[in-house]
Amino acid sequence: MDVSDGTGAAALRYLGNEGPSNIVTALDCREKYGKRCCRSLARIYRAELTLSKLSFYSKFVGYDYKMLKWKEMDVSRELYDFIGPNGAFLGLSGDSSYLIAVRVGLLRTEAMLYFIELSPESAVQRSFLYLPDLSPHTRVRIYFHPLNRFISSFIYDQSHLLSAYKNGLSESSTFKVVTIFPDLMLRLSLSSSATIVCRNLPKGKGMMRKDYLRIHDNGFALNTGVNLLMILFSKTPPTKIKYMQKMWRVIRRDKGPTFGGRPHTVSADLGEEISVESSIMQETDFERMSYQLVGCEDHSYSDTGQLFGLLRPLYISRHVVCIESLIDRSVNAFIRRSKSFKGACYKGSRDYETDVNCVDDQGVCKLIIICVCEVQVPFMDSENTRNIFYLCRIDTSWSVYRGWIPGGACRFLKELPHALAFNPRCWYPFARFPVEQNEYTYNVANRGMFYEKPQQRLTSFHGCLDVILDSDE
């Protein structure tokens, strides 16, 4: 049963076999119980949105030379403009307010990601992300803040993971995270080197899937294998910070680079590159709206009353969590307290795997580290010693504001033979990485662009909305 006059793009469908569709009851139930009842409601009621019936627009920014200011303009579009002959619609944001489309170039060496805001009557594209140097191994995972404060795209090369899995060795790679701020109409790019080690599924049935990027309410954490890069977004300078970190403020420059020019970029001490630029298309090729990252050592940029060309202040803070330092601290403390390891000496970690299990509303990250540790222990009652490898689990917490939080737990799981200790494929004890799945871990991947047969529908995260892609349906 359809609750619609059949002319609009939006409709509410009743999926039950008996009885009338009671929309009032359904909406009242959802209002009372929120997300807990979304999946049960999806079994009875399903909202549908037909793309071919929507009015499509793109938002451009052009410079008005008479008024001497930038202004926003609407340009009418067609559904086909956002995918072309080689593209696809990839998915929906967690709250179904954004549709992600990708348009691939004719030579399949470049692509454009479009972020389209949906409503019952129109689809408006403001932000975009250009993907140069596209290859069949380019992978993109798009993460959404639940309130769409920002959208982070994690870009990596799948061939490096496949090579690490095939060879059983670590591989060097480059991770890139591009974060779009829809209300500010700008995007921030972070590029960092990474070390990849792939773990086997139980019984050697393939490669375990890992979430290298973890977004939270205040920013994101990027796992580069050796370190965790913590990036914090804020409207004011984060005065709660209790440890050393680097902080920048985003400001707008009056005169930008010509078309194709490199955006303003800063380098961090570990080689990461951070750049900022406009996230919307601009009309003129000669003068472009441009942004800059300025260090907050200059106290004039700490005044939140000055907007410096933005709608609101935006501060970017960055700090690094060294995994090996956390392991050394935890294992040394465990050995000192343990009676069974009296006289033992910690010699270092040989391999480790780190996961951000969850991030709470206060910005506290729960970290789970599984590592191979070498410990020198006394041999019987003699003065001789021997080195033993242990599989160790460390549970610790790190606050994006206060740094390391004392406490946590460290325990040795079992002794490892030398052959297993140096084989990254064999010692990892879990069938999947210990990551708590929630609305922050939900992401849209670009695997949809490789489908041989185009999808006809996209279903929302909670299953309450279907977006109909086939105009003939």
pLDDT in tens, 251-298: 988 665 555 567 889 998 888 999 999 898 876 555 567 899 998 877
Contact between residue 62 and residue 283 where contact means Cβ atoms under 8 Å apart: yes
Q: Which segments within 417-456 are labelled E, that is strand?
A: 443-445
Q: Is residue 220 in some structural domain? A: no
Q: Is residue 368 in some structural domain? A: yes
Contact between residue 154 and residue 140 where contact means Cβ atoms under 8 Å apart: yes
Over residues 234-241, mean pLDDT: 79
Whether residues 245 and 331 share a domain: the answer is no
Mean pLDDT estimate for the chain: 83
The yes-or-no verdict on residue 78 having pLDDT over 80 is yes
Whether residues 292 and 330 share a domain: the answer is no
Closest-CA residue to 179 (of 142, 218, 151)? 151
Whether residues 46 and 142 share a domain: the answer is no
Whether residues 352 and 404 share a domain: the answer is yes
Whether residues 193 and 277 share a domain: the answer is yes
Q: What is the pLDDT of residue 27?
A: 52
Over residues 344-364, mean pLDDT: 92
Exposed, middle or buried: residue 298 (CB in 10 Å: 0-12, 13-18, 19+)?
A: exposed
CA distance 404 to 352: 19
Q: What is the pLDDT of residue 253?
A: 80
Whether residues 413 and 443 share a domain: the answer is no
Over residues 434-438, mean pLDDT: 89
Q: Is residue 432 in some structural domain? A: no
Over residues 225-232, mean pLDDT: 93
Whether residues 304 and 383 share a domain: the answer is no
Q: What is the pLDDT of residue 219?
A: 94
Over residues 213-222, mean pLDDT: 94
Closest-CA residue to 393 (of 369, 425, 414)? 369
Q: What is the pLDDT of residue 6?
A: 56
Pairing outcome for strands 122-131 and 55-64: parallel
The yes-or-no verdict on residue 229 having pLDDT over 80 is yes
Domain count, the chain: 3
Angstrom CA distances, 228 to 178, 187, 217, 296, 422, stand at 17, 21, 17, 23, 23
Contact between residue 263 and residue 186 where contact means Cβ atoms under 8 Å apart: no
Instruction: With cut-offs at 50, 70 and 90, classify the pLDDT of residue 459.
Output: confident
Token pair belonging to 343: 């006289």
Q: Is residue 21 in some structural domain? A: yes
The yes-or-no verdict on residue 155 having pLDDT over 80 is yes
Whether residues 26 and 46 share a domain: the answer is yes
Instruction: With cut-offs at 50, 70 and 90, classify the pLDDT of residue 19.
Output: very low
Q: Is residue 461 in some structural domain? A: no
Q: What is the pLDDT of residue 471?
A: 46
Amino acid identity of residue 24, one-letter, is: V
Domain hosting 253: range is 134-198+236-313+439-448
Q: Is residue 253 in some structural domain? A: yes
Give the sign of the dihedral formed by CA 234, CA 237, CA 239, CA 242: positive
Whether residues 159 and 45 share a domain: the answer is no
Token pair belonging to 176: 């890139």
Q: What is the pLDDT of residue 72?
A: 82
Amino acid identity of residue 30, one-letter, is: R
Rg of the chain on CA atoms, in Å: 26
Q: Is residue 406 in some structural domain? A: yes
The C-alpha angle with vertex 238 and arms to 232 and 241, in degrees rounded to 5, equals 90
Q: What is the pTM of this model?
A: 0.86
